[in-house]
Structure 1
């Protein structure tokens, strides 16, 4: 075992003897490790949080603690298993929610949920429906949460803030790449006013603020062996925002026929059947708390979030790839073009998307 990882593991209140700590997955933001213990003791997940992305890790961990505490109470009321249906944070030996090492890195741990399945994509309509149900239920259980969360990601999904960043990035042109992406810059300029008009509804309160997850791709939901949802994971981005962000981001992820970084944009389009199934599952849990204005803007939220991702990938490319991890120099530009193809597919099918949402709403 890596000696430094072993030392980090010793800082947490793990039951039993730790046999091994090994790398798990390839996250874009955090470094994640699987902690295997001996005998019948539970296993754990250990993460090194990205302090450059999450500027206030202590507040982030407190947000997660508040949310999971609320969720566990709701799960118990529903007769569920709070250790399997919600993340369980593991404190340090000193009782803290995180450990900061000598190099200033932040570490956190949670219980590993056994016999759970994750998916990188929604390969069936039923899986998409269950995923929608999972996020709808997550939001529904948090709809009456009164505790305030710290805004640990200022400006997240805030289009006015994103355009401030965008204007600064174009002005600086730090990596000297602006000249080669004039067509892509035009994509952003063309849609600027429409996207700001949507966000203004959030600023005025016409679209209400709720507790949201903000990273609702299917890989952030655990399923059981029967394909039913177990638990929503990766809560680093839980914030007070508009719940349409969660829905829109899920559609961007689930209903993409290609990859987020597909080198062939021809592979990318909106899968309308997946869109319908996810929406049906989501509304089966969320319809009870959504306002008429929220319902009206569900379909547009998918366009909004996808546009934001086009902007963010392109902005990071122009800035020299400082936010998203890249495996090759042009990857952020590839991501930009793939997401733009998805956006144009949504725009093409927007009328049908709106009609589908209305039909599902009236079916309940």
Structure 2
């Protein structure tokens, strides 16, 4: 099925004159559809990666429910730039399957917006914290049991630790002897790293609708670096607020690239942390619980630990999950996470004092 035929299944306005590929394309292929009619919007056409998201209908149902709820929090004009707007098909469905069994969905393209891949300033960090915090604030009254868990056990420490132990035991790629030090370090911390699971089991952490992929590139900014809209809602599911905060700190405040081979470049940027935490806590002040506040710093440590498990586990399994550019890619990624976890450990007390000050 050609793009023209796919586009023809959606209820668009105007006439599309140009299709442009955008983004990196690692998860979902994305295309900007430029409208020939200046009075009509451009659109974003995306394929859905069913290797990761096994149930595209449940995924789409989540996104439609969430965006409708978010739109209700804004005026009609404001909502057009503050949340994604899914475009229905001609028969009312919000995702279309083509003849190759590829699923497609469409959104209205938000004009004069940009993505920032790397946190470049304290302002960007603050705006991002405020954007993700506001996203959670607007969803605080949305029942978590009305949303599908699109990736079961996504941030479940019991599952992640079990998967890692299995990778160590099986040693499918024969690489265990190369990483015994890293494996021993990660296994030595399994007890403390199940804390979120324990707190949740004891009912001390409320189960909420959360984003679960809170990196900077999942926010649209305007030309002045003000946050407009949280995007990439594929991983929105029931979960815990502290994991959204923790995953942001894992990526935002690390001074090195995720796959940096030179570990001397891996440091914790306390100023970025402060700015992000300030924006996040300002936006969530009305509903965040004391237990959630108390465990924000631990969540940053846990999410970093979890990602180290995942990268090193994939290395031991023979690089079957993450795309790699060279044979040591996942090992470099894992070592960056381990080094960054050490940095977070060193600054733990300082981070907690900052959280308490907001």
TM exceeding 0.5: yes
3-state SS of the aligned residue for 1:107?
strand
Whether 2:160 is the aligned partner of 1:141: answer no
- TM-score under structure 2 length normalisation: 0.95
Change (3 A) 1:34 1:301: same
1:161-199, Cα deviation, whole Å (9 max, x unpaired): 112222222233333333322222122102111101332
- TM-score under structure 1 length normalisation: 0.94
Equivalent runs, 1:69-88 vs 2, <5 Å: 69-76=68-75, 81-88=78-85
Runs of 4+ residues deviating >6 angstroms:
none
1:115-148, Cα deviation, whole Å (9 max, x unpaired): 0122112211111111101111100010011361
1:274-331, Cα deviation, whole Å (9 max, x unpaired): 1001000111111211111111111111101111111111112222222222222221
3-state SS of the aligned residue for 1:269?
coil
Q: What is the CA–CA distance in structure 2 between the aligned matches of 1:80 and 1:13, rounded to whole Å?
A: 20
Q: What is the CA–CA distance in structure 1 between the aligned matches of 2:354 and 2:203, rounded to whole Å?
A: 26
1:310 corresponds to which residue? 308
Deviation at 1:95, TM superposition (A): 1.6
Q: What is the CA–CA distance in structure 1 between the aligned matches of 2:320 and 2:47, rounded to whole Å?
A: 18
Unaligned runs of 5+ residues in structure 2 are: none
1:101 corresponds to which residue? 98
1:121 corresponds to which residue? 118
Contact 1:29-1:324 within 8 A present in 2 as well: no
Aligned-CA RMSD value: 1.6
Unaligned runs of 5+ residues in structure 1 are: none
Deviation at 1:109, TM superposition (A): 1.2
Contact 1:143-1:211 within 8 A present in 2 as well: yes
Contact 1:53-1:323 within 8 A present in 2 as well: no
2:44 corresponds to which residue? 45
Change (3 A) 1:37 1:176: farther
Deviation at 1:10, TM superposition (A): 2.5
Q: What is the CA–CA distance in structure 2 between the aligned matches of 1:21 and 1:293, rounded to whole Å?
A: 48
Contact 1:28-1:324 within 8 A present in 2 as well: no
Q: What is the CA–CA distance in structure 1 between the aligned matches of 2:8 and 2:45, rounded to whole Å?
A: 11
2:349 corresponds to which residue? 351
3-state SS of the aligned residue for 2:127?
helix
2:338 corresponds to which residue? 340
Deviation at 1:80, TM superposition (A): 5.8
Q: Which range moved further: 45-54 or 27-36?
A: 27-36
- Pairs aligned (count): 356
